[in-house]
């Protein structure tokens, strides 16, 4: 018996490599958006002076100089969302904080102990709060804690 291939068979043969390539390329993107390096169960805050706001993709970085107990200046790095996400969801601009400005930053720390973490809420010297993510539970900008359950009537 003689079999012949039709032109309809050709597209199906080419689909598998394309799908495989797409899945392999997508894997690093999923890994990139992991929060595994942050301890999202801990919420800390530091006060210092803005060194820089790096407003670029894929993530915004806020650098704050913090003076430790011994008088040493330590640079803390805080990773935020993308500029587009911060603009759209939190109304940030590249001018939201300026170098030299005094701020308090609430954040989830890095698990490895380096200074910095996942950016949460920035409070400026005038009391203005700018969210960069979900505020820590019970912290400034967080929704009130739920009250006691009420019995149904």
Q: What is the pLDDT of residue 128?
A: 93
**28 by DSSP, 3-state: which?**
helix
Residue 70 has pLDDT above 90, yes or no: yes
Alpha helices in 33-112 (DSSP H): 83-90
What are the CA-CA distances from residue 129 to residues 20, 142, 147 (Å)?
45, 11, 25
For 32, the enclosing helix (H) or strand (E) is helix 9-32
The verdict on residue 13 lying in a domain is no
The answer to whether the beta carbons of residues 139 and 121 sit under 8 Å apart is yes
Domain that holds residue 125: 44-131
Task: Please give the tally of structural domains in the chain.
Answer: 1
pTM: 0.68
Rounded (5°) CA angle 122-125-127? 70
- Write the CATH number for 96: 2.40.50.1010
Report the chain's mean pLDDT, rounded to a whole number: 79
The verdict on residue 110 lying in a domain is yes
Q: What is the pLDDT of residue 10?
A: 54
């Amino acid at each position: 018996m003689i079999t012949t291939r039709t032109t309809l068979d050709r597209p199906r043969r080419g689909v598998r490599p394309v799908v495989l390539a797409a899945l392999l390329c997508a894997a690093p993107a999923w890994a990139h958006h992991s929060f595994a390096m942050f301890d999202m169960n801990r919420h800390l805050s530091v006060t210092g002076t803005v060194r820089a706001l790096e407003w670029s993709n894929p993530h915004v970085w806020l650098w704050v100089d913090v003076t430790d107990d011994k008088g040493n200046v330590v640079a803390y790095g805080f990773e935020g969302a993308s500029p587009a996400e911060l603009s759209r969801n939190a109304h940030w601009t590249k001018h939201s904080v300026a170098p030299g400005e005094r701020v308090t930053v609430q954040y989830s720390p890095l698990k490895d102990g380096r200074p910095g973490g996942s950016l949460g809420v920035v409070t400026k010297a005038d009391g203005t709060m700018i969210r960069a993510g979900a505020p820590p539970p019970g912290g400034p900008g967080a929704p009130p804690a739920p009250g006691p359950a009420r019995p149904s009537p």
